[in-house]
Amino acid sequence: MDQRKDLLVEVGLEELPHSFILNAVRDFESYFIRNLSDYKINFDKVKTYTTPRRLTLFIRNVMIKQDDYIIEKRGPSVEKAYTGEGEPSRALTGFIRGNNIDIEDIVIKESNNGRYVFLLRDTKGRNTQELLPEILDRTLKSMSFPKTMKWEKTGFSFARPIRWILYLFGDKAVQYSIADVSSSIYTFGHRAYGNKKILVENPGEYEKKLKAGFVIPDRSIRKERIKTQIENIIIEKGLTVHEDAPGLYDTNTDLTEYPHAVLCKFDPRFLDLPAEVLISEMIEHQHYFPLKNKKDDKLSNYFVVISNIEDSSETINGYQRVLRARFNDGAFFYKEDKKRKYSEYLNTLKTVTFHEKIGSMYEKVERIHKIAEVLSGLLSLDESTGSFIHKAASLCKNDLVTLMVNEFPNLQGIMGYYYSLAAGNSEEVACAVKEHYYPRFAADVLPSGIEGAVVGMADRLDTITGIFSIGIKPKGSKDPFALRRNVFAIVKIIIGLRLNFSMHELISRIVPLYSGIGETSGLYVEIEGFIKNRIKSIFEDMGFLYDEIDASLANVMDDIYEAYRRVLAIHEFRSDSDFEDLLISFKRMSNIIMGEDRFSFSKKLLMEKEEKELYNYFISIKDKIVQNIAVKNYNQVYSILSTFKPYVDNFFDNVLVMENDLKLRGNRMGLLNSIISVFSDIIDISKIVSV
């Protein structure tokens, strides 16, 4: 008799939101497989199928019966299980009665904590067919979604109403019921093609039967079908899919059961609108694929729609009509927005609240302006660049109150760019308005110019300082104002644009701006501590080791970019064969003077040959070390320091530092401190862990 059978379970639903599907099927698979394992039912491979209307598992070679197993349960310790006369105690009799066993079912075993009474019972495995209803029940009741509702009288909560359940083990139906729906061996075809009932007599024919019902259940096949069809219909026209559209392949895969790519077009007059407006509408609202001309890389008036049915000219007209209406709205908004002078939108920001305790967006812009001015000074920017920053800071949030951004919030900054140019501002100013939002996420681009970088950092520092001033700080995973992400963006900008300035001084100069908003006493210390901790996490994410970071961050707030360069240099030098020489030498010196805070040194008190040699070598290369530190050539500094090893070894092998003569002892410690002090501002060698 065959000991294994294939298992098929499909949960049919009203259409799931496309964003729910992948997590839902992962949950479905994870919980179902875990439950099979908990029930000690072995199996081979698992294949998942998804469409907007179904979540399916096809599990190969499932055992038809549980393995036999032994139930083992620990009871009381031997001392508590028996009386002094060797009779069963109340604790033991309670254990026996509670587990419905006989005294013969227990054994005494050694454990880590001593000798205990154990229940050991051989248990025969049950038939898988009997257990499958409970396994599915536990699975469905464990699944979670971003949003659930109770859809019928039983009160079962799920993302969408369950309409059918196909449950088949080998060629036998598994009887199960939930949410007023009973399982069967039927599935359903495509809704638009009759939604026909389809009999599935064994799991292996599931995919074939559904294809006959105009459903492609394999997600990867649907996705590849979409890609192939798009390529086939655009190649002859010299078109290519826009680079902002790759995510649409997944979205449309999860919106369709039987996808068809349809080439459509819109009126070329709409190409006079900013391309981002058209692209945003097509991608964000309609899930259409925008196309570009291969020749000039410009947006085309052609686009591709992924339909769930084979389309006729009527449906194509429908897609084009929907988009035309939306583009007409965009054209109206664009025209109306430009009727006002762009600078006038600033006053309208007074009606927009940034935070009820911090004030309006108008007040935020005023602070951004002041912070950007301070930062420009710290960066020693020229007058022309400063004027661009001054103008961009005053315009950076104006587009928030335009009709276009009200309709398309994801275009903030982008519309500011176009409106700034239309108002006669320079390209530098317009770019800064757009790019002060960059980077918006981890893999995003950085501002292309210093103007956008300065305004963007000022904006983020205002948010961080303002939110901290009213006592709101990130806790655990909660960070409602994205303060951690703001620090990440600031650090990325500093490193990416190689900006040298004192964050310490910047924060100290901007904290007084918030004296009328919240509590500023101790605010500087809190913000600096928060930024320091985030920098450490950011550096760890970059792949630096914790000890490299700890050794290099002593003065990080004086210059974040140089702290990055120092940790990068020690990280790179660590793979050098001379690194261990540097580490051994300077750790010996650091350890001997650790805890001392007063040092004195006189060349006249050098008595031994080896300490004189160490001193003379130090003096011979000190200027070279200082010069390389001055020009921030950290790799060269570390390379020079590694040459100290023979002199340090001779010193420690032949000179007693902890001399009874306190003058000699102090002088020798002073010598070591003089050497370490030369580079102590760039690295703390004591923090480096030897490999």
Report the Cα–Cα distance between both ends of the chain, in Å, rounded: 59
- Quick check: 560 and 535 in contact, CB under 8 A? yes
**Exposure of 99 by Cβ count < 10 A (0-12 exposed, 13-18 middle, 19+ buried)?**
middle
| CA 211 from centroid of its chain's CA atoms | 38
Single-letter amino acid code for the residue at 375: L
According to the model, what pLDDT value does residue 533 have?
A: 93
- Where do the DSSP E strands lie in 14-153? 46-51, 54-63, 69-77, 106-111, 114-123, 149-150
Q: Is 272 helix (H, G, I), strand (E, B) or coil?
A: helix
- Residue 691 banded pLDDT, cuts 50, 70, 90: low
Q: How many CB atoms sit inside 10 A of residue 590's CB?
A: 18
* Residue 52 and residue 254 in contact, taking contact as beta carbons nearer than 8 Å: yes
490-541 confidence digits (pLDDT tens) = 999 999 999 999 999 999 999 999 998 988 888 999 999 999 999 999 999 9
Q: In terms of C-beta density within 10 A (0-12 exposed, 13-18 middle, 19 or more buried), how is residue 378 classed?
A: middle
Least reliable range by pLDDT among 177-186, 191-200, 588-597, 626-635:
588-597
**258, 246 in Cβ contact below 8 A?**
no
| Cα separation, 79 vs 89, whole angstroms | 9
Would you say residue 22 has pLDDT above 70? yes
Q: 111 phi and psi, to 5 degrees?
A: -130, 180
Query: Residues 338-368: pLDDT tens digits?
Result: 999 999 999 999 999 999 999 999 999 999 9
pLDDT digits (tens, 9 = 90+) for 616-663: 998 998 999 889 888 888 888 888 888 888 888 888 889 888 888 888
Q: CB-based contacts of 98: which residues, under 8 Å, 6+ apart?
A: none
pLDDT at 2: 62
The conformation of residue 379, written as its DSSP 8-state character, comes to T
Phi-psi region of 115 (alpha: psi -120 to 50; beta: other; left: phi over 0): beta
> Which domains, from first to last, does the chain contain?
4-66+127-212 (3.30.70), 69-123 (no CATH), 219-337 (no CATH), 344-542 (1.10.3210), 571-687 (1.10.730)
Task: Report which DSSP code applies to 281.
Answer: I
Is the Cβ–Cβ distance between 341 and 423 less than 8 Å? yes
Higher pLDDT, 78 or 213: 213
**In the chain, helix, strand, coil percent, each to 5?**
55, 15, 30
Structure tokens at 204: 């292996």
Of 460-469, 569-578, 681-690, highest mean pLDDT: 460-469
Which 3 state secondary structure label does DSSP give 52?
A: coil
CA 170 to chain centre: 42
Reported pTM: 0.79
656 CB-near residues (< 8 Å, 6+ apart): none
Q: Which two tokens stand for residue 269?
A: 């007059």
- Phi and psi based region of residue 234 (left: phi greater than 0; alpha: psi -120 to 50; beta: remaining): alpha
Can you tell me the distance from the alpha carbon of 76 to that of 63, in angstroms, rounded to the nearest whole number?
Answer: 36
CA separation, residue 519 to residues 36, 182, 306, 468 (Å): 57, 62, 55, 9
**CA-closest candidate to residue 379, choices 663, 202, 591, 371:** 371
Alpha-carbon torsion, ordered 431, 432, 435, 439, to 10 deg: 150
